[in-house]
A and B are shown apart, each in its own frame.
Chain A
Amino acid sequence: MSVTNAFKNFKESDYGIVLLNTLRKLLQERITKFAFVCLVIILVLGTIGPAIAPYQYNVQHREDGQLLRYAEPSLDHPLGTNDRGEDVLSRLLYGARTTVITGLLAGSLMLSIGLFVGVTAGYVGGRTESFLMRFVDFIYGIPFIPFAIVLITFFGAGFYTTIAIIGLVLWRFIARVIRSQVLQIKQRPYIMAAQAAGASTPWIIRKHILPNIANMAALFFAMGVGLAILEQAGLSFIGVTDPFNPTWGIMLRNAHQSGRVVEAWWWSFPPGIMISLTVLSLYLLGRGYEGTSGDDEVVV
């Protein structure tokens, strides 16, 4: 009861109204709707994937005592098996979870750092801004892949290490864009009205700046998630992540290394398609969301 009440209250609050309106507008366009559905499916797979997978991802299947290698898709193994006799579909479903975790964790990390740096630099200005933006420039100077390889050599190839590295380096583009957005919003009269009314800086950032860059932040969160998934696949592919964690990138790497990418298409294609589909959906959704930011439009 209290949950429904809370939900009802939220629906009638300002944030609720804004959120619902945005969602409604977002889902007007067919292509964004498609992207949205895709992402929901991937998210669901990420959550319950391992539960609905037909097998454990690392069980080596045998037939007549022989390892069942490169088995074509069949009823037992809808996506066939790989070079070690493991079920591809199960690995794909387990991979969905690692992908979702990577995307969300690394994406959130990127967004938090990017937002913090961008908003601080944009709103505070002056020396703080110069210092922060020079720092961003410095981070921009880091070549990602070599840097990641070096760090992983230091800290060991862990799944979460990879996520941390992605998050700690790739926030840079978010910081830049958010800063310029904040600079614009800072000039709006409603900010000055709040200042004149006596609002403190944290108040203004919390109540006025953040809600007004929310659209932009959401877009860049989506792009960040996509980028993190791509980079993670890349790192997996060149072999600098935890090789025992079945990500889609690792699957591609294994297929590539076995030299049977073309013959065992059921093994190499699905993870590739899933990566592309996820990232594409994220970008499409981000675009669509950006398009709904017409809240500011003037109705005379």
Chain B
Amino acid sequence: MSNETPVLELRSLEKYFDTSSGLFDAVKNRILGDGPSYVRAVDGVNMKLEQNQVQGVIGESGCGKTTLLRTLIGLYNPTGGELLFHGRPVSEFDKDEWKEFRRHVQIIFQDPFNSLDPKFSVRRTLAEPLEIHNMEYDDERIAEMLESVGLTPPEKYLTRFPNQLSGGEKQRVAIARALITEPDIILADEPASMLDVSTQAEILNLLNKLTDEFGVSMVYISHDLSTVSYICDTINVMYLGRVVEEAPTRTLLAEPKHPYTKALIQSIPIPDPHYDRKRPDLDGEPGDPINMPEGCRFKNRCPKRMDICDRKPLDIALEGEDDHTVACHLYYDHDEVEGDQPEPTADPASSATSAGDAA
């Protein structure tokens, strides 16, 4: 595997869920001539995860980040687009390759209290992935792993059960379980958000250290920009199934472009009573993934809404900054960019009168 191919690549990945449940809806749709109605939980997401890189995915609850994670790990079949692992599409994988994939892609969950089997001792928890993949191991190896996640002395922890561990210790065990098969990729689903502040810092520092030490890449999903900035190299901001902005962490925090990203950053409370934070002027509730607006999905809450927002914005790299892309009509000249066609479902009348009509 060469270092040029990304470890994991998403090409306009889509995961739709059919909301028509059961026979009744199916018949109703057939009679009324409707197609099945979909929740477009992940809708055309592009991402390249390079070797040893940490990509953050940020968004409010319901933005599709958990669905994205489950699709990445192969628990959901994508309904469209492609997922490439070391340059090979996973849709072509046979059974053995899938198993291999599962060894190389591991997951850490948000909730340490439920992500360990209460009937498994720490030793068995760590041994399980090795047994599944028929890997040779001895207690030595498990003890080493425990040490590297900071559970020392390991002998003390080997025979413990989850109910004898604190939240932080559980999360360390979960991290150890994810790392023990020597994966290429770790998918982390807000691993620190349910822990106390003091423990949270510990887990973040540990993840930082381990991704370097083991040379793994990581996709880190969270709703909290302030913790993500400590760990991620690049941040993808997700809104209702689409990535609206992607940039290196510092760039994104310092020069956010998309109105949604700006609002997200401005909403973070600052632990400093002397600091006078400017609150975002943003209305409304987080979008409803079932009835999403056409065009830009953020338009109904956006303080800078224009007529053209009824069309789907393109992912455009900012001038002079290849690694900073934004999907917002504010940031590109619609006459120059090719392929900027109105969505087929959008009302043609509204786009005909809109400001920068490309046609």
Contact = CB atoms under 8 A, between A and B. Distances in A.
B168 to A, nearest CB: 10
B119 A198 contact: no
Interface of B: 73-75, 98-99, 102-103, 105-107, 109-111, 113-121, 123-124, 128-129, 132-133, 159, 161, 163-167, 174, 177, 181
Given A190-B116, A193-B107, A298-B113, A198 B132 contact: yes
Given A17-B159, A299-B163, A199 B105 contact: no
A190 B107 contact: no
A265 interface: no
Contact of A298 (B110, B129, B161, B163): B163
Contacts, number: 85
Interface in A279-300: 295-300
Interface stretch (A38-46, A205-213, A246-254): A205-213
Q: Is the interface of B mostly helix, strand, loop or mixed?
A: loop
A195 interface: yes
B160 to A, nearest CB: 10
Interface residues of A, number: 27
A76 B74 CA distance: 76
Interface string A181-218: 00000001110111111110001000110011010000
B118 A197 contact: no
Interface string A1-32: 00000000000101001100000000000000
B195 to A, nearest CB: 10
Given A194-B132, A214-B119, A295-B163, 16 more contacts: A12-B159, A14-B119, A14-B120, A14-B124, A18-B119, A18-B161, A189-B110, A190-B117, A193-B107, A193-B177, A195-B75, A198-B132, A203-B132, A296-B163, A298-B113, A300-B166
Contacts of B115: 188-190, 193
Nearest to A199: B132
A297 B117 contact: no
Contacts of B161: 17-18, 295
23 contacts: A14-B119, A14-B121, A17-B121, A17-B159, A17-B161, A189-B114, A189-B115, A194-B132, A196-B74, A196-B105, A197-B106, A197-B129, A197-B133, A198-B133, A203-B132, A207-B117, A212-B118, A212-B119, A295-B161, A295-B163, A296-B163, A298-B163, A300-B167
B113 A295 contact: no
A192 B187 CA distance: 13
Contacts of B159: 12, 17
Most buried by A among B133, B163, B165: B163
A188 B121 CA distance: 17
B128 A207 contact: yes
A196 B102 contact: yes
A254 to B, nearest CB: 48
B164 A197 contact: no
Nearest to B102: A198
Contacts of B105: 196
A289 to B, nearest CB: 15
A208 B117 contact: yes
A299 B177 contact: no
Given A14-B120, A198-B132, A212-B119, A193 B75 contact: no
